[in-house]
Amino acid sequence: MFQSFTVRSDATRGKLRLHALRKRLATMQLDGFVVPHADAHQNEYLPPNAERLAWLTGFTGSAGTAIVLADSAHIFVDGRYTLQLREQADMDVFTPEDLIDTPPHRWIEKNLPAGTRLGVDPWLHTIGEVERFEKACSEAGATLVHCDTNPLDAVWQDAPPAPLAPVSIHPMEHAGVSAKSKLAALARTVREHKTAATVLTDPASIAWAFNIRGHDVAHTPLALGWAIVPSRGDPLLFIDSRKLGNSERAYLHDHAELHEPVAFTDSLAALARRSRRPIMLDPGRVNAAIGAIVAEAGGKIVHAPDPAIGPRATKNRTERRGAINAQRRDGAAFVRFLAWLDAQAPETLDEITIVRKLETCRAETGERLGMPLRDIAFDTICGSGPNGAIVHYRVDETSNRRITAGDLILIDSGGQYDDGTTDITRVVPTGPPTQTQRRHFTLVLKGMIAMSRARFPQGTRGVDIDALARAPLWTAGLDYKHGTGHGVGSYLSVHEGPQSLSRRGMAELKAGMIVSNEPGCYRPGEYGIRIENLVMVDAARLPEGGDVPVHGFSTLTLVPIDRRLIDPKLLDRHERRWLNRYHARVRRELSPLIEDESVLAWLQGATALVK
């Protein structure tokens, strides 16, 4: 089992740990300290030794920041996590704040008392973030202190060790383009910016550029390390040699000078000292400690995006084919799971049983079809009844809920396969749904279909079309507090930039990009609804009479959408046609991958015409 159900969060320790941290801060002449959900690589999923925010506060969400002061402590989370925060952290000692409306730097500007010495660990914040903190502190009349050692680490007695999982080579049959040519392209970008080198700190960029995968963080195949790509000559790769077998070492040796991670800071300083040209750093990804190393060595810095991000996001032909195959296989596994779920008496089920069954279906189907499940893409969200309204709910032994007839069950999950990463959400009723539930579900479906059918001119960004999926909900006075979609990697991160379908989606949607399409509707205390397909940006046929070349989405995810929850009266004929064509395609493409007659029969029913 890749998913564990152990209780990770402990609200009862927050008070004592906060006390210990404050004592430590006092000895360092600090009045406050910022604890982000971050590691030195700005990973979304952290290695256990970087779970500082969870250790201190009990909050285990994938985004958030705490600001600890002498007499108050504040936790900033976004709309996905407001309910979860209240359940996981001790609300007597921590005050919840809104990460989107009042991000930490705005809060500092408005609320930090003049004269405060606020500490940060520069390894855990990006260059851009520290600049915002500096500015906010000076507005508030406070001082930002860059700490050489992390005060929280000094009080975290039993912190786990850094991970050392083995590295594997991502073969050409799945990567499509060799590491040699990817690295050459990166060096070209470095030259175009008239810089001496760039530093890759995002493990997903390193994994992509070198065609390697690892297992240092949960559910994302990353190997932690650093890379320096110079304008000419061999790249330098800093990776713990204990992670490398002989063939991986030989392979990497062919592509880079190999060093231990401890050599990274000295090598970077030496490069900055001897280069006449500046070093290219991504202020939104590279941490402030690295920026300071370059600056202190007398090097100049040019701010530019991580040059791997763009090419990584636009999948090549091999990766596109891989994504299609991975989704089809994942769909076959999911259909098997849904057929099973429908055959169970609701009262015999609980959330953990459901999550286990889904992972088993993925593992067995992957095995049978010759492409093993390498991991789940994230902890499966299985929110029954009111738990469905907690957007990023993770079931554990204490939260596990027994299903009752009439519950809606929201299941958001994904798999990691050599040829692709999947992410899908479906909602299943365990009894006759209410009219309101059907109405909410159908409104969400209308938004999901509107995005699936969208046509947009080249140059369109996610922010420009995010509203398409919301419009049917807005018309009904409803909305959801999360983005409509995120980028997805190719056997890499399930959340990947630069593209997103959201208010923050400023990157152009280019052919070959994969995004999720996942509007939702949440009734706190009652149920949650979300329908999620992955789609790929494609050049679309020019509509008749049109003269502007347009892009559109082709749907990758192939799993029926529950007909029992659809109110056909709320769909117009275009929407009905889209749904029926989608279901016909699901049936056509999945049937050859399904052996079990009873599952095939279930699929037949689940994809029958909606009239």
Minimum CB–partner distance for residue 456 and Zn ion (Å): 21
* DSSP label at residue 277: S
| C-beta of 34 vs 323, nearer to Zn ion | 323
| C-beta of 202 vs 518, nearer to Zn ion | 518
Give me the residues paired with residue 457 across strands.
Answer: 550
| C-beta of 216 vs 532, nearer to Zn ion | 532
| C-beta of 225 vs 487, nearer to Zn ion | 487
| C-beta of 231 vs 516, nearer to Zn ion | 516
Q: At what angle do helices 127-140 and 288-296 cross, to 10 degrees?
A: 90
CB 196 within 8 A of CB 231: yes
| C-beta of 120 vs 390, nearer to Zn ion | 390
Minimum CB–partner distance for residue 426 and Zn ion (Å): 10
CB 29 within 8 A of CB 123: no
Q: Which of 231, 314, 239 is nearest to 275 (CA)?
A: 231
CB 500 within 8 A of CB 462: yes
Minimum CB–partner distance for residue 250 and Zn ion (Å): 37
User: In the chain, what are the helix, strand and coil shares in percent, each to the nearest 5?
Assistant: 40, 20, 40
Minimum CB–partner distance for residue 535 and Zn ion (Å): 11
| C-beta of 391 vs 478, nearer to Zn ion | 391
| C-beta of 39 vs 496, nearer to Zn ion | 496
Q: At what angle do helices 462-475 and 435-452 cross, to 10 degrees?
A: 150
CB 373 within 8 A of CB 430: no
Q: How far is CA 587 from CA 133, 331, 365, 451, in A?
A: 53, 10, 17, 22
Minimum CB–partner distance for residue 498 and Zn ion (Å): 16
CB 17 within 8 A of CB 66: no
Give me the residues paired with residue 230 across strands.
Answer: 197
- Contacts of 30 by beta carbon, 8 Å cutoff, 6+ apart: 117, 118, 119, 145, 147, 151
Minimum CB–partner distance for residue 423 and Zn ion (Å): 4
Minimum CB–partner distance for residue 18 and Zn ion (Å): 33
CB 155 within 8 A of CB 24: yes
Minimum CB–partner distance for residue 518 and Zn ion (Å): 5
Give me the residues paired with residue 528 across strands.
Answer: 522
Minimum CB–partner distance for residue 486 and Zn ion (Å): 6
| C-beta of 202 vs 379, nearer to Zn ion | 379
Minimum CB–partner distance for residue 462 and Zn ion (Å): 14
Instruction: Please state, as a whole number, how many other Cβ atoms lie within 10 Å of the Cβ of residue 103.
Output: 17
| C-beta of 293 vs 381, nearer to Zn ion | 381
**Residues written for the chain:** 611
Minimum CB–partner distance for residue 410 and Zn ion (Å): 10
What span, in angstroms and rounded, lies between the C-alpha atoms of 466 and 462?
6
Give me the residues paired with residue 344 across strands.
Answer: none
Minimum CB–partner distance for residue 431 and Zn ion (Å): 25
CA 54 to chain centre: 18
Its sign, for the CA torsion 307, 512, 167, 47, is positive
| C-beta of 57 vs 484, nearer to Zn ion | 484
Residue 167 structure tokens: 């590295």
Q: Which residue has the tokens 């209780």?
A: 7
| C-beta of 286 vs 534, nearer to Zn ion | 534
Residue 357 structure tokens: 């069954």
* DSSP label at residue 350: B
| C-beta of 418 vs 423, nearer to Zn ion | 423
Instruction: Please state, as a whole number, how many other Cβ atoms lie within 10 Å of the Cβ of residue 30.
Output: 22
Binding stretches for Zn ion (CB under 5 A): 412, 423, 425, 516, 532
Task: Encode burial over 201-210: b for 16+ CB neighbours within 10 A, e otherwise.
Answer: bbbbbbbbbb
Minimum CB–partner distance for residue 425 and Zn ion (Å): 5
Q: Under DSSP, is residue 589 helix (H, G, I), strand (E, B) or coil?
A: helix
Rg (CA), the chain: 25
Minimum CB–partner distance for residue 516 and Zn ion (Å): 4
Instruction: Please state, as a whole number, how many other Cβ atoms lie within 10 Å of the Cβ of residue 161.
Output: 8
CB 606 within 8 A of CB 347: no
| C-beta of 423 vs 496, nearer to Zn ion | 423
